[in-house]
Structure 1
Amino acid sequence: MRDTPAPRRGRPKDPAKRAAILEAAKALFLRDGYRATSIEAVALDAGVSKLTVYSHFKDKACLFATAVHEKTHEILPLPSFRVDADTDLRGLLNQIGVQFLTLVNTPEAIAMHRLLISPAADPAMAELFFNAGPRPMLEAMETLLREADRLGLVRIDDPASATDQLYGLLQGCRQMQVLIRCALPHSDGERRKQVANAVDAFLRAYRTA
């Protein structure tokens, strides 16, 4: 009986090429928008073939969503949203808050938000962006607050509403001013003060006693 030959595997994907594709895609999406950015243009800017792009990402929507997802989780990884009975909730929310404000004030995030609220905004791009970036953060915070309530760290009847309130407190009016070019992003010191004040107000509203 002959030995069954081992199945042939495809060539391993090159992580350097994947990174180059993502960098090219981020630059082109921000410059030209979602609809006007083609896979061919991404391949050209990344210095790879169109086939190589498709070997890493099945289509343009996947490429865009991956770029947003990886940028988000580079700064604010979802494992940050974990709580147990011994957690210093104030400290955890301050940590997440600083990471969140750092993320939304990166040059890429500001440029993306400005693009999405412009008259030429592409609805398809907006939906892909929300599902790849903000939605997972909202869901992670809602889960964290629900668990914190179960553990008795806070009293929250509506975690979804509380999540909206917390992110709103963190951004304040300053974020709108940044987007419309009336102000610069927070400095490190300002960011930490803004977060501390927001978390204090939030916990006063939902304290257990």
Structure 2
Amino acid sequence: MVSKSSVVASPKPSSRAAGPGRPKDMGKRAAILEAAKQMFTELGFGGVSMDGIAARAGVSKLTVYSHYGDKETLFAEAVRAQCQALLPDDLFGHALKGPLRTQLVEIGMAFFAMISSEAAMATHRMMLAPGTGDEHVREMFWNAGPKRTQQDLAQLLQVHVAAGALEIADLGLAASQFFCLVKGELHSLMMCGLCRDPSRARIQAHVQASVDFFLRAYAVR
């Protein structure tokens, strides 16, 4: 039986960024977001100011606040945008055709590409570094990135459970386990600098083995 509490709808983007007044300049909004993604990766949350983001984006600080409200909102949106770029919503589409294994391998490959990117690895090290940020910053990162991705996968798994293809009691736990399997030893080796540039064949073999293990664990018995 599936635990309904294990699948929670992804949080809606903050409405604080969309204040009253004239329509927003989407070009400036994109420039602000790109500057924020770069600077949060380079300097960490505490090392970034709204003035600095404005300067890099080539806009006024008032424009930055007009679009995103505060630094916390902008940080969460930067994390969400990075995840969305490599793990778009349609990757988890319930209506996609083909075997479940094929879809999970595709999700696993995209996830591994995301977490092994230079930006993601730099952010990961920043989050683990002592004295970097506070618990609130780490919680914002978790909610905007990993939590959203796990929720998307849990919703996909729920469809296959309902169809009788999988037997999962806790969808949230299963989604977490899937991504932990895909990270595996290979990502740890990369984080330690012991495997800087694994071949695509090695990554694919690792992801396929992780998917096969996951499907065996939750096969209908």
**TM-score normalized by the length of structure 2:** 0.84
- Residues 26-175 of structure 1 aligned to structure 2 (within 5 Å): 26-83=37-94, 87-123=98-134, 124-175=136-187
AA matched with 2:144: A
- C-alpha distance in structure 2 between counterparts of 1:20 and 1:146, whole Å: 37
Q: Runs of at least 4 residues of structure 1 off by over 4 A?
A: 84-87
* Greater relative contact order (CA < 8 Å, ≥ 6 in sequence): 2
Q: Deviations over 1:29-67 (max 9, x none)?
A: 122221231111111111110011112111101111111
Measure the CA separation in 2 of the matches of 1:85 and 1:28: 36
Gaps of 5+ in 1: 1-8
Within 5 Å, give how 1:5-16 maps onto structure 2: 10-16=21-27
Encode CA deviations 1:172-197: one digit per residue, 9 max, x unaligned: 11112222222225332222221111
* Distance (whole Å) between structure 2 residues aligned to residue 85 and residue 56 of structure 1: 35
Asked if structure 1 preserves the Cα contact closer than 8 Å seen for 2:51 and 2:61, the reply is: yes
* Cα shift at 1:162: 1.6
CA contact (8 A) 2:46 2:132 kept: no
Report the Cα distance in structure 2 between the residues aligned to 1:12 and 1:151, rounded to whole angstroms. Answer: 45
1:5 aligns to what? none
| SS of equivalent to 2:220 | coil
Is the contact made by 2:44 and 2:123 (CA closer than 8 Å) also made in structure 1?
A: no
- Kindly name which structure, 1 or 2, has the bigger radius of gyration based on alpha carbons: 1
Q: State the distance in 2 between where 1:85 and 1:111 align.
A: 33
Root mean square deviation, CA, Å: 1.9
- Residue in 2 aligned with 1:177? 189
The question of whether the paired residues in 2 share the 8 Å contact of 1:75 and 1:99 is answered with yes
1:82: how far off? 2.8
Could you tell me how far apart the structure 2 residues matched to 1:55 and 1:144 are?
36
Asked if 1:207 corresponds to 2:219, the answer is: yes
Structure 1 residue 19 corresponds to structure 2 residue 30:
yes
* Equivalent-residue separation in structure 1 for 2:197 and 2:137 (angstroms): 24
